[in-house]
């Protein structure tokens, strides 16, 4: 019988990435998909100790071994979803409900030529968007100014521009408007620069075995830059730095195939 040779596994990796955030009590809260991730990798570095014998003229290494292992990695996603943006900002993703409650007498100090965001406040710095029935009056509410003559509006973004050649002078005015009822996504940054998560990679490789990978404890932090305006046509990517940790009752990295019926 001839020698039997092994079959090589050549892998061209593809797959889906799932993130499972820990809560304040370090309990997992459930996985959500990150969407398209064109680059996910792990890097392992090892520190070793060395000992050289002094029993002869030529010192030779007679002992040594690994004393520390560090596992890091990067994760890049071009799916600019609210949940991914919240991860990159180490913040929160919430659903905000805007009620169609008419607003009258919103006092603002204005300067001709400037633009003002309706509904902006300390508790809601983004203000309101998608509004109807915008009005501008003087501080006493006795004079109603004319749209297109004294001010311009962008109802979709909820912004008012006070015109320089209109009747509105520098000082206090009253804004009135009615927000359109609806629900929208909102993301805000958090106080922490990193988040504790678990990472699962479910492969669908172009070639090679589909071995699932699970990292039960990862310190995830934002890396690189996030373009807000760019000249090119490439999709925005978010890069994350991973510090792969070993949990108290488990291993740092798991990789396993799937049973065949």
Q: What is the pLDDT of residue 192?
A: 76
Residue 1 confidence class, pLDDT cut points 50, 70, 90: confident
- Nearest Cα to 152, choosing from 141, 164, 144? 164
pLDDT at 78 exceeding the cut of 90: yes
pLDDT at 194 exceeding the cut of 90: no
Q: What is the pLDDT of residue 226?
A: 87
Q: What is the pLDDT of residue 232?
A: 87
Tell me, yes or no, if the pTM score tops 0.85.
no
The pair of three-digit structure tokens given for residue 4, joined into one six-digit string? 């039997």
pLDDT at 223 exceeding the cut of 90: no
Q: Tell me what the mean pLDDT of segment 177-182 comes to.
A: 96
Residues near 48 by beta carbon (within 8 Å), at least 6 away in sequence? 64, 65, 66, 67
Q: Tell me what the mean pLDDT of segment 143-159 comes to.
A: 97
Which comes out higher in pLDDT, residue 38 or 232? 38
> What DSSP assignment string belongs to 186-235?
EEE--S-SEEEEEEEEEE--SBS---EEEEEEEEEEEES---SS-SS-SP
Q: Tell me what the mean pLDDT of segment 118-140 comes to.
A: 94
Q: What is the pLDDT of residue 22?
A: 93
pLDDT at 156 exceeding the cut of 90: yes
How many Cβ atoms sit within 10 Å of the Cβ of residue 60? Answer: 9
């Amino acid at each position: 019988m001839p020698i039997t040779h092994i079959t090589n596994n050549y892998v061209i990796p593809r797959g889906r990435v799932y993130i499972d955030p820990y809560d304040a009590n370090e309990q997992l809260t459930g996985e959500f998909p990150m969407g398209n991730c064109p680059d996910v990798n792990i890097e392992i570095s090892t520190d070793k100790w060395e000992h050289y014998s002094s029993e002869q003229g030529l010192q030779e290494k007679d002992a040594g071994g690994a004393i520390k292992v560090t596992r890091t990695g990067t994760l890049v996603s071009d799916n600019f979803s609210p949940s991914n943006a919240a991860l990159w900002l180490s913040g929160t993703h919430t659903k905000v409900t805007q009620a169609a409650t008419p607003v009258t007498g919103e006092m603002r100090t204005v300067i001709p030529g400037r633009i003002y965001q309706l509904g902006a406040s300390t508790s809601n710095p983004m203000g309101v968007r998608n509004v109807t029935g915008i009005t501008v009056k003087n501080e006493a509410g006795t004079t109603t100014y004319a749209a297109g003559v004294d001010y311009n509006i962008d109802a979709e973004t909820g912004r008012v521009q006070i015109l320089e050649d209109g009747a509105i002078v520098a000082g206090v005015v009253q804004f009135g408007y009615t927000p359109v009822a609806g629900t929208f996504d909102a993301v805000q940054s958090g106080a922490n620069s990193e988040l504790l998560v678990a990472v699962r990679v479910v492969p669908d490789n172009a070639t090679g075995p589909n071995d699932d990978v699970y990292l039960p404890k990862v310190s995830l932090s934002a890396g690189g830059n996030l373009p807000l305006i760019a000249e090119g046509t490439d999709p925005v990517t978010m890069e994350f730095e991973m510090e792969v940790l070993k949990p108290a009752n488990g291993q740092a990295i798991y990789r396993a195939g799937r049973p065949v019926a």
